[in-house]
Amino acid sequence: MIIALEGILESRGVDSAAVKVGPLSLQVYVPASTLSQLGAVGDKVYLHTHLHLREDNVAIYGFASTDELAIFQNLISVSGIGPRAALAFLSTLNVTQLASAIISGNVDLLTQVPGIGRKIAGRVVLELKGKLEKGWEGAVIPALTREDADVVTALTSLGYSLREATQAVSNLPASQDMDLEEKVKLALSQIART
């Protein structure tokens, strides 16, 4: 099983990148979020990978973070969701938005993903809600309000892990008087204390 690869970025396409690993050049399918983080052609890249085997095809899917890889693997475990649909989810929504939508049962947000209707979105919620509530590292990921999901998104974009961000947000006071900036500052101060 190929769980990661490190090499030189040779080229990038709409939904994939060619990575030179030793004497081989591998085509790796990636979500838009990962594609935007790869850097320039000629740069060194490191991707967490999933090797997908079918009787007529072998494909490698790559991700910038283990959280992206974990949610991808959870998505493809859902009946009716293949690797391409899972990539569409991750190209439309970031990991935090996706996990929050699944946990809170926000089918409307999930149907914004191209090619995903209400029936499939409902199945994703039904099959993954319990798994995601327990978290990928054994930590509980609470259901987030839309405002709290924005705070988690801001924290993860600053480089904090999904687990760190959700723990900090779950400790925020339930005051409606704070705006996004104030919540982010308070969450950062809580992370700094731990």
Domain co-membership, 50 together with 86: no
Domain co-membership, 20 together with 72: no
Lowest-confidence pick of 78-92, 133-147, 173-187:
133-147
pLDDT band at 163 (very low <50, low <70, confident <90, very high): low
In 3D space, the residue among 33, 32, 28 whose CA is nearest the CA of residue 8 turns out to be 28
Domain co-membership, 70 together with 130: yes
| pLDDT surpasses 50 at 137 | no
| Domain annotation covers residue 16 | yes
Domain co-membership, 72 together with 110: yes
pLDDT digits (tens, 9 = 90+) for 85-132: 999 999 988 888 888 888 878 888 898 899 999 999 999 999 998 888
Tell me which amino acid residue 48 is. Answer: H
| Domain annotation covers residue 141 | no
Q: How many helices (H) and strands (E) does the chain have?
A: 9, 5
Average pLDDT value for residue range 3-26: 95
Residue 49, number of CB atoms within 10 A of its CB: 20
Question: Which residues neighbour 72 within 8 Å (Cβ) at sequence distance 6 or greater?
Answer: 31, 50, 61, 63, 83, 86, 87, 90
- Single out the residue in 63, 92, 112 at which a domain terminates: 63
Residue with tokens 């998104």: 153
Report the number of distinct structural domains present in the chain: 3
Structure tokens at 34: 């990962």
| Domain annotation covers residue 185 | yes
Question: What's residue 58's pLDDT?
Answer: 93
| Domain annotation covers residue 140 | no
Question: What's residue 85's pLDDT?
Answer: 96
- Structural domain including 91 reads 66-134
For the CA atoms of 174, 168, 181, 185, the dihedral, rounded to the nearest 10 degrees, stands at 120
Residues 75 and 81: their CA atoms lie apart, in Å, by 6
Domain co-membership, 110 together with 125: yes
| pLDDT surpasses 70 at 143 | no
Average pLDDT value for residue range 141-160: 72
DSSP 3-state assignment of 164? helix
